[in-house]
């Protein structure tokens, strides 16, 4: 993390999650700042009547199964490359003068 960002976080009063361990990838001031931001976001949403999911869903409930993923790949292969696939919007190309 850049030194200027560390200084700003320290001036704002944020500290590392665990002061007893050295600063590193999993113990830095930005983690504390991010946690506070997430708390504020959930509080703000709740005050405005929006319910956000605070705990991640189990992996089995998210995304495609292996069979669905393979089937989707087979559909894309039938249509040629990705640009011809119905799943990808075609990009407009601009002719330069």
Helix axes 29-47 and 3-11, enclosed angle (nearest 10): 60
Give me the count of residues in the chain: 97
Task: Give yes or no for a contact between 52 and 42, defined as CB atoms under 8 angstroms apart.
Answer: yes
12-66 pLDDT tens trace: 999 988 889 998 888 999 999 999 999 999 999 999 999 888 888 787 777 888 8
CA torsion 72-73-77-80 (nearest 10°) is 80
How high is the mean pLDDT of the chain? 80
Closest CA to 14 of 22, 25, 27: 27
| Residue 73: inside a domain | no
| Domain that includes residue 29, residue range | 3-47
| Residue 74: inside a domain | no
What was the pLDDT predicted at 65?
Answer: 80
1-18 pLDDT tens trace: 788 888 898 899 999 888
| Residue 8: inside a domain | yes
Tell me how far apart the alpha carbons of residues 66 and 9 are, in angstroms, rounded to a whole number.
43
């Amino acid at each position: 993390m850049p030194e200027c960002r560390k200084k700003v976080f320290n001036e704002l009063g944020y500290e590392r999650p665990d002061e007893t361990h050295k600063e590193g990838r999993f113990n830095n001031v930005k983690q504390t700042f991010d946690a506070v931001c997430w708390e504020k976001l959930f509080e703000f949403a709740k005050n405005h009547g929006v319910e956000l999911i605070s705990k991640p869903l189990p992996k089995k409930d998210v995304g495609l199964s292996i069979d669905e993923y393979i089937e989707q790949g087979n559909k894309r292969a039938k249509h040629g490359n990705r640009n011809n696939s119905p799943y990808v919007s075609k990009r407009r190309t601009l002719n330069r003068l």
